[in-house]
A and B are shown apart, each in its own frame.
Chain A
């Protein structure tokens, strides 16, 4: 880029014909022309750097924006929502004066290029979003998707991703309490590494990303700025991988969790002393994003002296400094008389902090370098007025054929022996097998408030030791369902996460989402995206759980092959007293097992169709959101009133998968009876939504049945908790030892 002579605003105005590398920075021709039009001249190199990163797909949501509006337009009335979409993370009122902020984000592309650092910095980024709201981070969750479990590259990507998540999150002292691990060949070249975090604060501590009050100082603190991650947002996250292009390794950032831990502690201490007017973390697009967002959300302008930014590499150009995505940095706006105290706190934690500029009473963002003005823009044009695309979309012509390829017509097991073999095959398949080899690499004890962690239906954290107030979070997504029907698939993801939260006894309150799709330039992918967003927005409205924020990851595509559309939905819930939580594990022999909800012949997209027939076709299970709500109410009431001792939601793998998991976790078996009107196969393997299996102490049987009857929820007694086998009467019995070997041996055998 032009370094000599300095490309100042003056210089740019005087040399209109200089060619700038806008295409290399990822801008399209019409986008560059728009920048020229906005500025009334060609941009300087530094301005071009800022516009290119901020107008990238990753930062500007230019392809998704027109659809995402529905989350606002269809938002249900909710008293719980304190801060909605648009800030670093949404904030929800959970009662007793507490507020909870949570969000899920993607770090897909970097994690494929460099699994350890890609995943580690994904955790770092989401955690900074949480701190930037004023909250203490209390837990993380990680929904992950990889290629086929037995593919050699999965053995490169998965262990690196898991070690990266653990290496970073464990060092921050954040319990990892949930998430998913899914394998499917469609993610082979595009693994999905989504990271979620939860933070807790008091209502009065909520902070926002805005720079107000002329004369207030802008302080950059945390790590020094280096050459890592330059252009990560524009180049990595916004284009399809292509073998022909040179290696993008240098565009992945490198994380230092120790620095981030210090950043957390010193930020929280500054918050506690009320020293901070506005705050923004530096993630994608680094200083370009932080300065333009802080300035455009505030009332004034901002002047920044780039020479004052502490550097790791003194040869960096101003453009590189603006684009650098060096990790563990934050930007705070502080009143002049509080600057000294702020710097003192940073010094206490050995965190480097530097005043780099101030808020002005104008409306321009001005950035200086070596005395010359290299940026002079309206910050809104950088942060908010990026291009908006109405990408063409069309239902793919193959969709009908896919849906017509009915999984219900696949050959079913003909004998009891075959049925038993398929059960074993299911529970030992990579997707259904125990993931403890992975989750045992994450600390789930730290902070001493973890009530439930994976493999429970949702993670649960106590937030008040006196009252027992707690929050629960579950993340779910099923790309196979969404491929068959993206509208229903997105709703099923929400329904499952909602159900998982309710199953543990918590009341679902709000939603965050991470929408992982292929290239928006493909009309078929764009149709999947549009349908998924429409489905999710409609379902959130019906269930009364607003979307508080989230993330879109596009271009998850290698060549022509896009991933399955994969909307991942996180649901946050609240529980008044964590002592009432319901675990998955069977607790006591002799307790009665009840199946709640209706079981139909629904095998489209099912785990059974994948494991036994390697098949994907037909329609996903029917969505009935009113039923989900009713089931949730029953599960929450039953937990509150002590009517059930364990509960497990039914989802992929169906009833038998749920029963085997509850049995192995509790070290107690089950004796099941196929209910009237169902065949054993459908009973065990169907994936009908809106169902759960609960264990009821005999003393509560009457009361529980009465409650379900009075509220109109179908309830079927299906057996009892038993000693040391899972038995389906008249069909087969599988000893727990055999099930444990099958269920727990798969992942270590593939990956250890």
Chain B
């Protein structure tokens, strides 16, 4: 058997099909979910993909967080369903308070698209188990509002609890505090990051590396052996 992993399409989602492809390449079954539909179609996990949902109006992720599908996602995430938020999806997760902190505009005020070096700081989450702790990987980054911020106390707590999942290495591309690229919740089932692992799954396209594939194999193994 394999796992069914849902990918939500909001109006303005862009990397939804790409995420479905990555899930398929990892050997799982991608399931398209629609923002107006509360039904999660019995998926085992959910990915909130990148894009500009609702045009990033008001604030990136601020409107999507109130969409019907998110009601169910929030509820299920709290009872342990694995959820991954990529880029705009990470922004939605912080707006939904499933993850702490917020994303501000990049400190250089430009959109930035680059193949970014990261260090995996926590290889024990549902989405990172196929990495080694401390492993350095390259994952494409592309966003306008990628600067992770939180108050000092929250940052200290994240560090102390090992909840910083990924950190930028060599270059901090957007001014994120403590070079944070991605974080996890306490239980390790909800992970959000700004870089796009779904664009590093085939040697021929995208960044030309496959450093992002373990996200999807990690979750598949977890779900299949569970």
Contacts and interface: CB of A to CB of B under 8 A. Distances in A.
Contacts of A579: 204
B205 A450 contact: yes
Given A171-B55, A446-B142, A258 B11 contact: yes
A449 B21 CA distance: 11
B51 interface: yes
Size bracket of the B interface: 20 to 34
A262 interface: yes
Given A171-B52, A258-B52, A446 B15 contact: yes
Contact of A447 (B18, B144, B204): B18
A441 B205 CA distance: 19
B121 interface: no
Contacts of B199: 445-446, 448
Interface string B92-118: 000000000000000010111110000
Interface in A423-459: 439-451
A578 B206 CA distance: 13
Contact of B205 (A170, A443, A451, A752): A451
Interface in A157-195: 163, 166-167, 170-173
B113 A442 contact: yes
Most chain A C-beta atoms within 10 Å of own C-beta, residue among B113, B196, B198: B113
Nearest to A350: B11
B171 to A, nearest CB: 12
Given A173-B14, A257-B55, A445 B206 contact: yes
Contact of A462 (B51, B110, B204): B204
Contacts of B15: 173, 446, 448
B12 A441 contact: no
Interface in B12-53: 12, 14-15, 17-18, 21-22, 50-52
Given A257-B55, A258-B52, A448 B113 contact: no
B198 A448 contact: yes
Given A170-B142, A258-B12, A451-B205, A441 B55 contact: no
Interface in A570-596: 578-579
A578 B202 CA distance: 13
Contact of B140 (A258, A445, A447): A445
A167 B140 CA distance: 18
Given A450-B206, A462-B205, A441 B110 contact: yes
Nearest to B22: A448
The 3 closest A-B pairs by CB, nearest first: A258-B55, A173-B14, A448-B18
20 contacts: A166-B110, A167-B111, A170-B142, A257-B52, A257-B55, A258-B52, A258-B54, A258-B55, A442-B111, A445-B199, A446-B15, A446-B18, A447-B17, A448-B18, A448-B199, A448-B202, A448-B206, A450-B206, A451-B205, A579-B204
Interface of A: 163, 166-167, 170-173, 256-259, 261-262, 349-350, 439-451, 462, 465, 578-579, 752
Given A349-B11, A445-B142, A752-B108, 10 more contacts: A170-B52, A257-B52, A258-B12, A262-B11, A439-B113, A441-B113, A443-B113, A443-B142, A445-B199, A448-B205
